[in-house]
Structure 1
Amino acid sequence: LYGSVDPDVHRSVAPKEVYRCALSYLGTYSQDRQRMLHDLFIEPARRTPEARFVMGGAQYPAEFPWTKNIFFVQHLPPAEHPSFFCSSRLTLNITRTAMREMGWCPSGRLFEAAACGVPILSDWWDGLDEFFASDSEILVAALAEEVLAALELPDAQLTRIACAARERVLAEHTGAQRALQFQKILENIHSREMAVA
């Protein structure tokens, strides 16, 4: 079973000024994501010094290539995730290499951000379109230029994308949906065992 989200926890909440930004990223430091983080977060921040970028996470090294417009929240407790996401005009998802190579392996944060109603910009991995439709439920980027183009999209378009992703997550990726899927799996196993007996 894939991960899921609790819509009572991850939901739209009032933004907080401390997290307000054009683009956010939430993730623990990982060397295998560093190139993508550079291309899809640091480089766009460098090219748009007038915009505010906010990153939350842990274990970032002292030599991390910060820019003056990247604001860092060293430890963001899970209870603050909805406020963090909802304060972002757009949030970035970067998939760990092992998950990207495996494909069909969405992170829990992807569902959490969608349930909070924030538009998501993600790197591409096989199977992503099984969970979210490109351009109508999620934006995809591989280059800094694509991130900059996404940041230029009108608010109305970003709102439509965020609402569509939220509807999809609430319909298909909640804990209640996973429980039903698990129950069906068990029923199918039981039916097969009864047929063999």
Structure 2
Amino acid sequence: MKGFSIAFFGSSLVSSYWNGAATYYRGLICALHARGHRVTFYEPDAFDRQQHRDMEDPPWAKVQVYSATEEGVFRSLEAAMGADIVVKASGVGVFDELLEKEVLSLKTADNKVVFWDVDAPATLERISHNPHDPFRSLIPGYDLILTYGGGDPVVDGYGSFGARECIPVYNALDPDTHHPVPSDHRFCADLAFLGNRLPDREKRVEEFFLRTAASLPHKRFLLAGSGWDDKQRPRNVDYLGHLGTASHNAFNCSPLAVLNISRESMAKNGFSPATRVFEAAGAGTCIITDSWQGIEQFFEPGKEILVAGSGEEVADILERLTPREASMVGLHAFARVRAEHTYAHRARQVEAIFMEEESSMGSYAGGAA
């Protein structure tokens, strides 16, 4: 099979700085390259991401950094002409409305133009509350909507706005990037959380992490991610700031457990496991997650992941969690993620979608491809 040429407009492939989708892009695009597809990733020079790169241009994708101006956008659109697949991801950060409209001008009889939503619950909530949102009228013009997750609620939501087809492509693991490593004393703690400070996450971090730490003064907690510098924290919470992806394995492997906290929109919608969940599972880590609908589609609660409905439940789990139990949960998660949730699985799914090999792909849910 001849591989596709794919023009991909996204936030950043080479920097995870204020860019939670970076590892999702990397895992998928690397796996698509391994299957013979050629990706050019167009990203703006914005938000100091180029000054905070955590990788060089990879051999499995061509990276084109354009100036964060209208001229830069149109130059990139011109360069993308002729691609078999043109992808506009959500949340590029600059000129999103312009890109969402103008990528549709690249549509021909021989290609597909795709909108790839990495924050679908939030997008659908936004356009539902604003009948004048310009993206609403563009949805039917895309050949396909792919999403970072969201399950049937997101599929139905996009369908109500006239999407031709909407298919979730869930987060996953790149085993070459995220895997077990020796413990690092810098990251040793009873519970660690990694996530940037965002408006629809902050209250949930207060509930599930900071209040938990305050209720367990005899335990040590570790917070990493951008934006928490001036956030009031209990004395037993150490703050690391932005943590580059090169340190994620050691961060996952060193504490007794790591905590996953969904953003408000994703927790409300369900079926939206964060990239961090698969990264931690790939490192053989014991994961405690806030509760959201659809967890069992990816990991078995109680065996492969521990689920808490509140900060008090996080504290209860942490109080009784032993190193042996944590190790067993991590081992079971490791086996599950390697067997069913790698980016190689997701790349096969995406390839099948693009080739239209299966007419029933619209009902495709998480699990092995």
Shift of residue 65 of structure 1?
A: 2.2
Query: Which residue, 192, 197, 207 being the options, matches 1:29?
Result: 197
* 2:336 counterpart letter in structure 1: R
Change beyond 3 A, Cα 1:186–1:31? closer
Q: Which residue of 1 aligns with 2:212?
A: 44
- What secondary structure sits across from 2:347 in the alignment? helix
For the residues of structure 2 that align with 1:155 and 1:83, how far apart are their CA atoms? 17
Q: Which has the larger radius of gyration?
A: 2
Shift of residue 93 of structure 1?
A: 0.4
Shift of residue 4 of structure 1?
A: 1.7
Shift of residue 155 of structure 1?
A: 1.8
- What secondary structure sits across from 2:280 in the alignment? helix
Matched, 1:107 2:274: yes
Query: Which residue, 285, 288, 291 being the options, matches 1:124?
Result: 291
Shift of residue 95 of structure 1?
A: 0.6
* 1:146 counterpart letter in structure 2: E
For the residues of structure 1 that align with 2:263 and 2:253, how far apart are their CA atoms? 23
Deviations 1:152-183 (A, max 9, x none): 22222211111111111111111111122234
Q: For the Cα contact (< 8 Å) 2:173–2:341, is it kept in 1?
A: yes
Matched, 1:69 2:69: no
Shift of residue 191 of structure 1?
A: 6.4
- What secondary structure sits across from 2:349 in the alignment? helix
Matched, 1:80 2:234: no
Q: For the Cα contact (< 8 Å) 2:352–2:358, is it kept in 1?
A: no
Shift of residue 3 of structure 1?
A: 1.6
Change beyond 3 A, Cα 1:185–1:51? same
Change beyond 3 A, Cα 1:84–1:190? closer
* Length, aligned pairs only: 190
- What secondary structure sits across from 1:148 in the alignment? helix
Matched, 1:154 2:340: no
For the residues of structure 2 that align with 1:140 and 1:70, how far apart are their CA atoms? 22
Instruction: Kindly indicate which of the two structures has a greater share of residues assigned to helix.
Output: 1
Instruction: Kindly indicate which of the two structures has a greater share of residues assigned to strand.
Output: 2
Among the aligned pairs, what percent are the same residue?
35
Q: Which residue of 1 aligns with 2:258?
A: 91
In the TM superposition, structure 1's runs of 4+ consecutive aligned residues that sit over 3 Å from their partners are 183-187
For the aligned residue pairs, the C-alpha RMSD in angstroms reads 1.6
Q: Which residue of 2 aligns with 1:195?
A: none
Q: For the Cα contact (< 8 Å) 2:184–2:251, is it kept in 1?
A: yes
Shift of residue 61 of structure 1?
A: 5.2
Mean alpha-carbon deviation: is it higher for 39-48 or for 4-13? 39-48
TM-score (ref. length: structure 2)? 0.49
For the residues of structure 1 that align with 2:211 and 2:350, how far apart are their CA atoms? 42
- What secondary structure sits across from 1:71 in the alignment? strand
Mean alpha-carbon deviation: is it higher for 67-76 or for 152-161? 152-161
Query: Which residue, 306, 329, 333 being the options, matches 1:165?
Result: 333
